[in-house]
Structure 1
């Protein structure tokens, strides 16, 4: 198995794990308050992730001084993005929410041009504009079935793009798994604080099982997404990030009997094609 094939499979594994986590959270939200889910899932995730990192001998909480403010800012982006996305996910079709998030590579490319003065030629700029049109087809403002929670999914794209841009500025001395553990712990604490605004719902056996599944899946997503950065070429493996849309379409249909309309599906295809084009063009520019 070549490194690029391994990387592609790991990327698809990561997307499948994150999508399955979304499915479980959406199921739990029918019976449990949002922040109770966030806290309990975060507690399990932090525990399992810490044990996993410790088992590999990589557990460290040392953050270089220049990175401390950046880690705090990244964590803030992560927490707010988690709230906006889960709120959108609970109130709209899982495939539509995932399709909107597919605009991330386009948003990060634009953000890098604005923040880091990276050169973006007319081809990639055109792809960003066409991709934005694809997002509008998914959101469908003004349509009869328009769901205002789609706007929260769009806000999530901006927040996650900000998170990724901050991550790009980290120094090489900061271990990725340290950031992952800190993020998981911060989300757990945030969920615990916000949980006081909700009425506690006693856990049933099926709730506990689903929470354990959600924690398991999100750990898988974290681990696979880190491993994929160490295997294969990014330009080859990155387009497989769009497999999340396929997983979301299948799971939405099987679990929730949801299927986006023709306009939303067309928009999703446009976003994916433009995103893949942007990644390919970025590789060409770097090697040109």
Structure 2
């Protein structure tokens, strides 16, 4: 999703410092609202990508995003919120996010929004796999099985080896991979406020894409400029809704509702472009969603096991079976 974030941010949210969960229902509603906003932004992006180069479309998005996000960050905490304790990791994260946006946008002239969105939702599975390599996390057979099922869902959507296959379908997979790198790096960034990460994402994307503009520029007309501004503003609103969502609920509870975006992507794609997802896309999207939902469920179980283990250790009581097994799931 060009909202990278949204599966882009849904998959590995950056939770504001010092915030506690206060209303899970409110958090879920904020996240669902973000999926609507991101889906509208994706439809506008697809329209722009039909007449403008993808780097320019991404640049319009990031410049507008920065113009909205930076003043908000400064108003919330002043220049100190722009300072990162891990600038190198923030830069790598920003590169992962902007790469994801570029690759996803590049797919939209060739794929329906629903297809590109469905394929992109493989990102939580890629994040899980990278977490094993980069973060040393332990993943049991259940989640590996769910990951394999998710990849089957992707294959159902893109159908390699058939006449329905398009090489452009590989672009959302590459976009999801780039997003996964950024998301895993996010987990290694400690001590930075959510608004700091938001500011760095917008600035890194703006600088990188601005450097590309001399090589990929088509002068937009008035309508395209208006759409670009609307797209960037929606992008910023979507990210802000995600920040609000994770203020009000735990990530393991809220994140699965990001799959609602598959519904909006199909509906808005039909209303804007008349594209109806075929049975293969619907089936594949359903498999991907079920895989992701099960992975999120196992994450919640694992978190409870870790909490029980810590509780039993601190109280001196014998640990339960889940704790003894090292929370492997």
Give TM-score, length-normalised by structure 1.
0.93
Q: Distance in 1 between matches of 2:176 and 2:60?
A: 25
Aligned to 2:64: 44
1:23 aligns with 2:40: no
Inter-partner Cα distance in structure 2 for 1:33 and 1:23? 16
TM superposition shift of 1:54:
2.5
Aligned Cα root-mean-square deviation (Å): 1.6
Match of 2:155 in 1: 136
Taking the TM superposition and a 5 Å limit, the aligned residue runs for 1:134-283 are 134-171=153-190, 173-204=191-222, 206-283=223-300
2:83 maps to which of 36, 43, 62: 62
* Larger RCO (alpha carbons 8 Å, 6+ apart): 1
Task: Flag structure 2 segments of 5+ consecutive residues without an equivalent.
Answer: 1-21, 306-329
Q: Which runs of 5+ in 1 are unaligned?
A: none
* Residue 89 to residue 202, structure 1, CA distance change in 2 (3 Å): closer
How many pairs does the alignment contain?
283
Q: Deviations over 1:162-211 (max 9, x none)?
A: 1100000111x21221221222122222222212123432422x222211
**Which secondary structure state, in structure 2, belongs to the residue aligned with residue 158 of structure 1?**
helix
Of the structure 1 ranges 174-183 and 277-286, higher mean CA displacement relative to structure 2 is found in 174-183
- Deviation for aligned residue 1:120: 1.4
Q: Distance in 2 between matches of 1:192 and 1:225?
A: 26
In 2, distance between residues paired with 1:83 and 1:40?
A: 12
Shift of 1:48: 1.1
Contact 1:137 1:267 (C-alpha < 8 Å) held by counterparts? yes
TM-score, structure 2 length as denominator?
0.82
For 2:25 and 2:267, locate their aligned partners in 1 and report how far apart those are by CA, in whole Å.
23
Larger Rg: 2
Instruction: Give deviations 1:120-150, integer Å, cap 9, x for gaps.
Output: 1211111111111011001111221211111
Q: Identify the range of structure 1 (34-43 vs 174-183) with the bigger mean alpha-carbon deviation.
A: 34-43
